Structure 1
Amino acid sequence: KIGLKQRLLLQESLNTFTVQGVIQLVQRIIIITLIVETIGAVALAIRWSQEMSWGKSFYYGIFHSISAFNNAGFG
């Protein structure tokens, strides 16, 4: 659960006038992020499974998908 203090902090950081809808926005952002990163991880794992073991390709797929989405700058 997110308390009033956290909601007000989110409201201020998102520059909105009301607290209403801030939580839904954050939930949507998290869901979209997870979906995009999962699609990228699966695509990379499938591609790399031809060159290495399934476990290693799955791990590298997750790592590179998250790194690319968040623009971590290392790989």
Structure 2
Amino acid sequence: MLQESVTRINFKEISTDVPYFLTIFMMPFTFNIATGLGFGVISFVILKVLSGKRQEITLTMAIIALVFLAVLLTN
């Protein structure tokens, strides 16, 4: 079932699809759903900024990414 979800990601929009993949990929490898979500949110914000689509990032998303980043760096 999980494999079907991953194979449906078409990776045409890298700044959106890579965070989906990282979220799905990191959950089982970190044994923590929250950590997987954190990697997805952080990568989403970073990739949107790097691809020049900064206007697609909401203030809430930026704050959540900073909180996840702080938590990951302190562990």
**TM norm structure 2:** 0.38
Q: Which has the larger radius of gyration?
A: 1
The structure richer in helix per residue is 2
Higher RCO structure (Cα 8 Å, ≥6 apart):
2
